[in-house]
């Protein structure tokens, strides 16, 4: 009896489970069919409103556009019009007729109401939409969201404000940098990208930040952003104040800003930059090479040349690249470096010369009219050939080039063989 009851219970349970599986599969299929039909209708509506918008734009007036595009909020037509407006806006500057349409058709008000939603995804989507709509009237409400505790809301709000581009939003972001960056609520890369979206107007706010916070993480973000904005004396002033900062990241970013200030923008700048070529941190020395090359030019060649012997290979490579970019004034520096008795150092320098294509310039100089440059180049190439760095020489002989230079190379190789 009990065995029969057990069998019946098992059959019932299996049947219920099977029915549930079938029901779930049916619901899934039904949902897909419904979604497919919805998307088909949306595609048709998009085509229709795209055509209407194109016709209305050729007519010109915003009143005509409103009449053509006005629909019931939340409907499929509403979604189709929104998609078409975003599509057209992507190909046009934000000051065209399309920008106020989002306001007049009710989209701005619709998404502002969603800012109060308890659903994080719904709020984040609304914030993002307002940003793409360039909804300037929504900036005060978006600024209040910068005090939210949710990292996703903070990130999307910063992006939205940067797309809108008003000073009010920029000031709100800068004032909250300790909260936004200090607790890693917004990644530094996302913050830098957002600040750059504000363009030149961000310089004044960021350059004034030195009076508000001394957090090295935040200050390095501020300086990194300024390094991508147009050169400005205010940016240079902030960078100069942090050249001797105790944090290497800040020193490095300060150097990066000063490397773009341009000659003559700041008095006595080279003498402030060159000491950092001896910084104890390798990436500071690397950035100092780039900045010294831009600011001091040939005057920095000798000190950059010392870093050809640096313990860090990245610094050695950058020093060789920097000297190569300085041109003929750095050739003597290369020759002096190759006269060292340190075989490892000499080989490292030869490798860097090859990698930066400086060797091609040296070979070409053999066919030039500058006697001093020709003699220096010949001596460098002789030393490199003696250390078995000869491949570029043989490749040059096999290709097109100055016959005078080729004769010099042949003599150099023959002398090495002898």
Domain that holds residue 55: 42-88
Locate tokens 């440059």: which residue?
A: 373
For residue 411, the model assigns a pLDDT of 86
Residue 151 lies in a domain: no
Beta strands in 230-336 (DSSP E): none
Range from 3-7, 18-22, 140-144 that averages highest in pLDDT = 140-144
Residue 49 lies in a domain: yes
Largest CA distance in the chain: 114
Residue 362 lies in a domain: no
d(CA 193, CA 178): 17
The H or E element containing residue 224 is helix 216-228
Residue 73 lies in a domain: yes
Kindly state the DSSP code that residue 145 receives in the 8-state scheme: G
Residue 139 lies in a domain: no
Return the minimum-mean-pLDDT range out of 31-35, 287-291, 395-399: 31-35
Residues 6+ apart with CB under 8 A from 307: 277, 285, 289, 315, 316, 318, 319
Is residue 369 scored above 90 in pLDDT?
no
Kindly state the DSSP code that residue 259 receives in the 8-state scheme: T
Residue 57 lies in a domain: yes
Do 170 and 198 contact (CB within 8 A), yes or no?
yes
d(CA 173, CA 160): 11
Q: Which one, of 334, 276, 270, lies nearest residue 302 by Cα?
A: 334
Number of domains in the chain: 1
What's the pTM value of the predicted model, to 2 decimals?
A: 0.76
Locate tokens 């949710």: which residue?
A: 150
d(CA 221, CA 156): 18
For residue 262, the model assigns a pLDDT of 58
160, two tokens: 């939205």
pLDDT in tens, 268-321: 788 889 999 999 999 999 999 999 988 888 888 899 989 988 889 899 888 888
Q: In whole numbers, what is the pLDDT of the chain averaged over residues?
A: 84
d(CA 352, CA 330): 14
Q: Which one, of 275, 210, 282, lies nearest residue 239 by Cα?
A: 210
pLDDT in tens, 203-253: 999 988 865 556 788 898 899 999 999 988 889 889 998 999 999 999 999
d(CA 346, CA 16): 81
Residue 264 lies in a domain: no
Residue 216 lies in a domain: no
Do 202 and 225 contact (CB within 8 A), yes or no?
yes
d(CA 282, CA 313): 10
């Amino acid at each position: 009896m009990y065995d029969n009851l057990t069998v019946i219970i098992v059959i019932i349970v299996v049947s219920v489970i099977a029915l549930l599986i079938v029901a779930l599969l049916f619901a899934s299929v039904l949902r897909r069919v419904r979604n497919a039909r919805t998307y088909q209708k949306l595609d048709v509506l998009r085509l229709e409103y795209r055509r209407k918008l194109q016709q209305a734009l050729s007519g010109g007036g915003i009143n005509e556009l409103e009449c053509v595009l006005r629909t019931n909020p939340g409907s499929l037509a509403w979604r189709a019009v929104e998609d078409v407006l975003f599509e057209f806006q992507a190909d046009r500057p934000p000051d065209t007729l399309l920008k106020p349409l989002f306001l007049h058709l009710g989209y701005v008000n619709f998404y502002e109401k969603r800012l109060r939603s308890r659903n994080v995804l719904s709020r984040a989507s609304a914030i993002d939409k307002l940003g793409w709509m360039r909804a300037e009237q929504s900036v005060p409400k978006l600024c209040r969201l910068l005090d939210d505790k949710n990292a996703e809301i903070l990130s999307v709000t910063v992006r939205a404000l940067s797309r809108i581009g008003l000073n009010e939003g920029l000031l709100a972001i800068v004032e909250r940098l300790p909260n936004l960056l200090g607790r890693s609520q917004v990644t530094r890369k996302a913050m830098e990208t957002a600040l750059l979206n504000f363009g030149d107007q961000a310089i004044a706010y960021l350059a004034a930040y030195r009076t508000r916070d001394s957090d090295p993480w935040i200050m390095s973000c501020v300086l990194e952003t300024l390094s991508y904005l147009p050169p400005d004396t205010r940016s240079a002033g902030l960078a100069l104040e942090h050249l001797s900062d105790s944090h290497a990241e800040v020193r490095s970013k300060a150097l990066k800003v000063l490397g773009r200030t341009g000659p003559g923008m700041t008095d006595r700048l080279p003498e402030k930059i060159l000491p950092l070529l001896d910084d104890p941190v390798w990436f500071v020395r690397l950035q100092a090479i780039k900045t010294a090359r831009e600011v001091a030019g040939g005057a920095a060649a000798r000190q950059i040349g010392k870093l050809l012997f640096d313990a860090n290979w990245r610094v050695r490579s950058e020093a060789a690249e920097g000297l190569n970019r300085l041109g003929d004034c750095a050739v003597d520096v290369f020759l002096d470096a190759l006269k060292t008795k340190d075989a490892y150092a000499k080989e490292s320098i030869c490798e860097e010369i090859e990698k930066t294509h400086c060797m091609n310039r040296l070979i070409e100089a053999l066919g030039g009219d500058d006697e001093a440059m020709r003699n220096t180049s010949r001596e460098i190439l002789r030393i490199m050939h003696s250390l078995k760095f000869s491949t570029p020489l043989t490749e040059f002989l096999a290709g097109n080039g100055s016959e005078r230079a080729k004769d010099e190379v042949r003599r150099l190789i023959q002398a090495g063989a002898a």
